[in-house]
Structure 1
Amino acid sequence: MVLVLLGASALSVTLASGLYLNYVQAAFKPFLVAAGVVLVVLGVVAVASDLLAAARGADENPESGGGDDDHHGHSHARGPGVAWLLLMPVIAVFVVAPPALGAYTASAANPPAPSDVEAGSLDEFGADVPAGEPVPMELQAFVMRAWTDADRQMAGREIELTGFAVPNPEGEGWYLARLQMACCAADAIVNRVLVENEPEPPKDSWWTVTGTWAEPEGDLQEIRDHRFTVGEMTAVDNPPDPYE
């Protein structure tokens, strides 16, 4: 039964919903589906095998077990009763699905170190993007470009970012953040920008903001948190895939 329920939970969060995106990359869906199917099949085979063995034993010894059952009945009854407790963690997965990582993780984690990504490899500001129009960017791309934009091509350009609100433990403004994962939630790192010119919204609420990079002075790669001056904020629903 544990195998069947584990397999069913894997199938329910992949085929019946997109909850698996709270924990792993979308590319892992086929592997989760395959694992769920294997677990369900193994569980059904094990249960069927036990039922057949019990039925066969009853047919071969219809009058057996009187004395033995009286002698060992207490231990046999206790064993299966305790074993059913193994189902509780599995049932909890159906009742209380762990949410995606959010503001708590983003505020506790340190932002990544400057990458060796070259600014020229990021083409959000190509010739097909007229000046004056907001440029949609992922937070990861914005942060990496802010660290490597030696020519400061982002300066003065309107940029559109989407992320969730995170309180600043140091009390100066608040963060717009997005978590990035290579494989699963266990390796997630935070990309964030510091917003100082707007009141702090509720923690973990999602926003699309349009504004400009608060261009810093000095060496870009020595900046811990790049600042973003917000011109417009729009509340949005939580995206199906919360990670970048």
Structure 2
Amino acid sequence: MNRIAQGLVLVLLGAAALGSSAFSELYLNYVQAAFRPFLIAAGLVLVVLGALVVAADLRAAARGEDGEQGHDGHDHGHDHHGGPRVAWLLVLPVVAVFVVAPPALGAYTAAASGAAEAPDPSRVDLSEYRDDPFAEAGDGPVELQLQEFVSRAWTDEDRAMSGRTIELTGFVVPHPDGEDEGWYLARLQMACCAADAVVNRVLITDEPAPETDSWWTVRGTWDEPEGDLQSVRDHRFTVEEMHQVDNPPDPYE
């Protein structure tokens, strides 16, 4: 692989970063929205560096040709040989980004990772979501993120969700023990990027399992457990109605 090819690879990498962040929301499959400016900046830097490498090598090649014409074929020490051919394999990941963009994490990751663990109640501030979503909703259904629902189900000793109609949205994860045990409505929560994502989920047993990885909005009630909330492994949810929805642009919470 010669320097021109190396420069083109840099340009392609930069274009891939720009295409997924500046001109689409594909980057949300991998990182938080706050990283968008950094991805755009990195893409621009790669494109500029790649273009400079290509331009410099083309100028050097042009100067070398002029020198050879003026000195009757004397070799001026220019190395016109590229690197090993196997280096061209570096182009394959770049092409793959354009042809087959990796999807967001879904049911396979959620099933393999298992559910998030119960947090320390003293470290959970439910007001970081909303001060009182149940007062805001009046007697109507309360729309909650799955992470908020799970946090409240584990830590809200006042059990403010008890008896309230709640609306949740997530994707379908099959139960590892089979359909007879129900299925999970899940959502992945990430602090930085997809690599640190944790699973928030609720167990549904009163409806047949839809297609894995399909997205649904369910409306129903929390199956309030008896005893210590922290001892609950799977938060259960009774469905009153549900309907399929499109995959959201940002699949994470």
Paired letter, 2:51: V
Partner of 1:179: 188
Once residues 124 and 230 of structure 1 are traced to their aligned partners in structure 2, the CA distance between those partners, rounded to angstroms, is 23
Partner of 2:250: 241
Superposed displacement of residue 125, structure 1: 3.6
Paired letter, 1:240: P
Superposed displacement of residue 126, structure 1: 4.2
Once residues 82 and 201 of structure 1 are traced to their aligned partners in structure 2, the CA distance between those partners, rounded to angstroms, is 46
- Structure 2 alignment gaps of length 5 or more: 1-7
Identical counterparts, % of pairs: 66
Once residues 208 and 247 of structure 2 are traced to their aligned partners in structure 1, the CA distance between those partners, rounded to angstroms, is 20
- Structure 1 alignment gaps of length 5 or more: none
Q: Is 1:89 paired with 2:96?
A: no
Partner of 1:98: 102
- Check whether the contact 1:7–1:36 (CA below 8 A) recurs between aligned residues: yes
Partner of 2:135: 127
Residue-pair matches, total: 237
Once residues 132 and 108 of structure 2 are traced to their aligned partners in structure 1, the CA distance between those partners, rounded to angstroms, is 30
Paired letter, 2:56: S
Q: Which secondary structure does the structure 1 equivalent of 2:240 belong to?
A: strand
Superposed displacement of residue 123, structure 1: 3.0
Q: Which secondary structure does the structure 1 equivalent of 2:135 belong to?
A: coil
Q: Which secondary structure does the structure 1 equivalent of 2:137 belong to?
A: coil
Partner of 2:64: 57
Superposed displacement of residue 86, structure 1: 2.1
Superposed displacement of residue 165, structure 1: 0.3
Report matched runs for 1:1-244 at 5 Å. Answer: 1-62=8-69, 63-64=72-73, 76=81, 79=83, 81-115=85-119, 116=121, 117-119=124-126, 123-131=131-139, 133-171=140-178, 172-244=181-253
Superposed displacement of residue 161, structure 1: 0.2
Instruction: Flag the 1:10–1:59 CA change in 2: closer, same or farther, 3 A.
Output: same
Once residues 231 and 221 of structure 2 are traced to their aligned partners in structure 1, the CA distance between those partners, rounded to angstroms, is 20
Of stretches 22-31 and 165-174 in structure 1, the one that deviates more from structure 2 is: 165-174
Deviations 1:125-167 (A, max 9, x none): 4433212x11000000000000012121111100000000000
Once residues 127 and 85 of structure 1 are traced to their aligned partners in structure 2, the CA distance between those partners, rounded to angstroms, is 59
- TM-score, reference length from structure 1: 0.91
Paired letter, 1:127: A
Once residues 61 and 133 of structure 2 are traced to their aligned partners in structure 1, the CA distance between those partners, rounded to angstroms, is 71
- Check whether the contact 1:118–1:148 (CA below 8 A) recurs between aligned residues: no
- TM-score, reference length from structure 2: 0.88
Superposed displacement of residue 110, structure 1: 2.5
Instruction: Flag the 1:159–1:124 CA change in 2: closer, same or farther, 3 A.
Output: farther
- Check whether the contact 1:124–1:135 (CA below 8 A) recurs between aligned residues: no
Of stretches 108-117 and 160-169 in structure 1, the one that deviates more from structure 2 is: 108-117
Deviations 1:7-34 (A, max 9, x none): 0000000122110000000000000000
Instruction: Flag the 1:140–1:155 CA change in 2: closer, same or farther, 3 A.
Output: same
Instruction: Flag the 1:118–1:212 CA change in 2: closer, same or farther, 3 A.
Output: same
Once residues 119 and 157 of structure 1 are traced to their aligned partners in structure 2, the CA distance between those partners, rounded to angstroms, is 17
Q: Which secondary structure does the structure 2 equivalent of 1:175 belong to?
A: strand
